[in-house]
Amino acid sequence: MTARRKQQGFTLIELLVVLFIMILGFTALAFSVSSGTDTAKLNATARDMVSALRYARGQALMTRQQTTLAFDLDDNSYQLSNRDENYRIDPDIELTLVTAESELTGEAQANVRFFPDGSCTGGRITLTRGAAIRQIDLNWLTGHVELESK
């Protein structure tokens, strides 16, 4: 009696199934990494803007003079009143600003003004990139700047 030996190994279909599963896994990983990069850019922009707002408040308190942060929504940029540098925001990030009507300076331009006592015109800045949203609230009475994630 002859015993037949079974051939051991993988069939082509088994290899294709494993390859397909690996491709799905790498695709999911790529989407995860790219969305993480988007969120990181949004977080960095929000932190930079919060720093600029807090700097403007500090300057108003120290110099005893009004300091403004001027926003240009068409250009997606902002500028401090005592600096020449124009800070650009990534074009993929949508900027929305709610401020006092007296601070609207043009069609898509507005200011946030900080006063020598630390107060400000108040308002809300919303940064959006895809599904990620970061909101910066400005307390008009205290000038306190707070960053929130939504």
Q: What is the DSSP string of 28-50?
A: HHHHHHHHHHHHHHHHHHHHHHH
pLDDT of residue 34: 57
pLDDT tens for residues 63-119? Answer: 999 999 999 999 999 999 988 899 999 999 999 999 999 999 988 999 999 999 999
pLDDT at 3 over 60: no
Q: What's the CATH number of domain 14-149, 3.10.20.30, 3.55.40.10, 3.30.70.2740, 3.40.50.11720? A: 3.55.40.10
Please report, for the chain, the start and end positions of each structural domain, with discontinuous segments joined by +: 14-149
What SS3 class is residue 69? strand
pLDDT of residue 80: 94
> Token pair for residue 77?
């940029």
